[in-house]
Every structure is written in C-alpha cells, then in structure tokens.
C-alpha cells in the first residue's frame, strides 16, 4: 500500500522561505508502475477555506506546473533515488498560511491527475 | 481557468436518506471530474474518478454521473460517517481546480 508522509511545516515570516518534504513509500517490485510513473501534487487548505491545487511534478522527466498564486515563488521537485517530493517555498505571504497536503496521482496514465493517496498534511503559518 | 461551482454550500440529512450534490464547470470538461470526501482532521479521500468510476474500496452507495459541464455525486442510504465536506476537481488541463465544496451534515 502506497503511503505519503509530509514534513517541514512551521512558522515563517512574510518574505521568508520553507521547504516541505513528502516521503513516498509502499511501492513494491511487483507493482506494474513505480514511484517515477506517477505525477505527484501539493494541495493546500487555508483555515476555513476549501482545497486549492498548488503544484504538480510530472512523471519521470515531465514538466512541473503551478497555480498562478504561487508561480515564481514555489518550486516542486522529486528525488527518485529517495522517493521524495519537495516544495520549496520562497517569498512567503500571509495568504500562504495553510495545511499542505502531498498526494499521488491515481493513475500512471494521467498527465493531469486526480489523487488517490494523500498524507495528513503539514501546517505552514506565515506571520510576523 | 476552469471554475467549478458546487451547490448548495451545506446540506442536512437524516440517516438513510439520499444526498445529491452538484458540481458545474464553467466550460466543457468532458468526463474529467473527480469527487473527494474530506472529514475534519483526515486526508481527503478519492471517491469517484472520471465522473462515474468508484475508487477502490469505495462503497456502491457512492455514485457519480454527468458529462460536459454538469456533474452529480449521489450518496444513498446516508450514514453518520458520511458527514464531511465534498469537493469536485477537474483534470482537463492546467491549472487543476477544485470546487468550493459542499458540507453534508447527517443529523
């Protein structure tokens, strides 16, 4: 069973930086598709608000995509050797305060994903 | 950007009733719509992908329908554990977007 576990949240000042990490586990050698075959996504939920897509890193060497609200400030990346997903967040704003979820694409065939495995999230608070 | 509008914002039911949740897209998204259940303090849970396909382990009480711009999630025989926020999400193209959510309360 594939699982994801987020870490790295905390308190940051406006204009500051944080790096979120997402550890992916549970792929086995018998799985048809492995870690590199699935797009991985960060989704956030601000206090009292709904879910908001943040960024997706594609399969293998496919490109990354970002919400306009974070484009140019956040960078998503993957480390295949460690089975890790990262979200480097810079120039943080108060409105970036949210719980950040890491999620796996439901299908290795999907370039634009829906997500079937989610972590419990990590909380980012941006405040002076 | 494709806007997904969910209505109504909150629904109230008794156990055993049937809930019908709506998600309307601002443009044709073909069948590329998913539904999630999000209980407080839990990760979101994929219920339905590509309009009408139940995710593994999801009971048959949950069903999805629609196409183009109008989509529906139906939950039959409501149970107290179904109390949650429900979100739709399209995957036609970037940016991915979610609807604003519908809160379902089982009293």
The per-residue pLDDT for range A108-121, each reduced to its tens digit, is 888 899 999 999 99
Is A47 at the interface with chain B, CB within 8 A? Answer: no
Q: Do B43 and A121 touch (CB under 8 A)?
A: yes
Separation between Cα atoms, residue A14 and residue B17, nearest integer Å: 47
Q: What is the pLDDT of residues A44-75, one digit of tens each?
A: 999 999 999 999 999 886 789 999 999 999 99
Average pLDDT over residues A4-28: 94
- A29 pLDDT exceeds 80? no
Give the minimum alpha-carbon distance from A128 to chain B in angstroms, rounded to a whole number: 26
Q: What is the pLDDT of residue B101?
A: 98
How many CB atoms are located within 10 Å of the residue B15 CB? 12
Chain A residues within 8 A of B95 when measuring between CB atoms = 53, 65-68
Residues in chain B: 107
Query: Tell me: the pLDDT tens digits for B45-96?
Result: 999 999 999 999 999 999 999 999 999 999 999 999 999 999 999 999 999 9
Q: Is A67 on the interface with B (CB under 8 A)?
A: yes
Question: What pLDDT is stored for residue A61 in this prediction?
Answer: 64
CA-atom Rg of chain A in angstroms: 14
User: Which of A68, A107, A118 is the closest to B43 by Cβ?
Assistant: A118
| A106 at B interface, C-beta within 8 A | yes
Confidence of residue A31 (pLDDT cuts 50, 70, 90): low
In angstroms, the CA A62 to CA A41 distance is 13
CA–CA dist B7, A128 (Å, integer): 37
Distance CA A104, CA B74 (A): 25
- Cβ contact A112–B45 (<8 Å): no
The per-type count for chain A, helices as H runs and strands as E runs, is 0, 11
Give B104 to chain A, closest Cα distance, Å: 14
pLDDT score of A35? 83
Which chain A residue is nearest to residue B96, measuring alpha carbons?
Answer: A53
**Residues B12-44: tens digit of each pLDDT:** 999 999 999 999 999 999 999 999 999 999 999
If you measure CA to CA, which chain A residue comes closest to B88? A51
Q: Backbone phi, then psi, for A97, in 5-degree steps? A: -60, 120
pLDDT one-digit tens code per residue, A93-106: 999 999 999 999 99
Confidence of residue A30 (pLDDT cuts 50, 70, 90): low
């Amino acid at each position: 069973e594939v699982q994801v576990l987020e870490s790295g949240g905390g308190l940051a000042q406006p204009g500051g930086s944080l790096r979120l990490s997402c550890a992916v586990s549970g792929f086995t050698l018998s799985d048809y598709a492995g870690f590199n075959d699935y797009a991985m996504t960060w989704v956030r939920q601000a206090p009292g608000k709904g879910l908001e897509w943040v960024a997706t890193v594609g399969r293998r060497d496919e490109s990354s995509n970002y919400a306009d609200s974070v484009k140019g400030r956040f960078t998503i990346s993957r480390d295949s050797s460690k089975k890790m997903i990262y979200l480097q967040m810079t120039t943080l704003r108060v409105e970036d305060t949210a719980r950040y979820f890491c999620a796996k694409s439901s299908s290795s065939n999907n370039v634009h994903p829906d997500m079937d495995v989610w972590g419990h999230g990590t909380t980012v608070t941006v405040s002076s | 950007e494709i806007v997904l509008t969910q209505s109504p914002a909150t629904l109230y039911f008794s156990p055993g009733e049937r809930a019908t949740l709506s998600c309307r897209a601002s443009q044709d998204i073909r069948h590329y719509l998913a539904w999630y259940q999000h209980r407080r303090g839990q990760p979101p849970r994929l219920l339905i992908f590509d309009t009408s396909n139940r995710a593994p382990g999801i009971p048959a009480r949950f069903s999805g329908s629609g196409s183009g711009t109008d989509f529906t999630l139906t939950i039959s025989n409501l149970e107290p554990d179904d109390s949650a926020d429900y979100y739709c999400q399209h995957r036609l193209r970037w940016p991915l977007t979610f609807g604003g959510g519908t809160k379902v309360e089982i009293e």
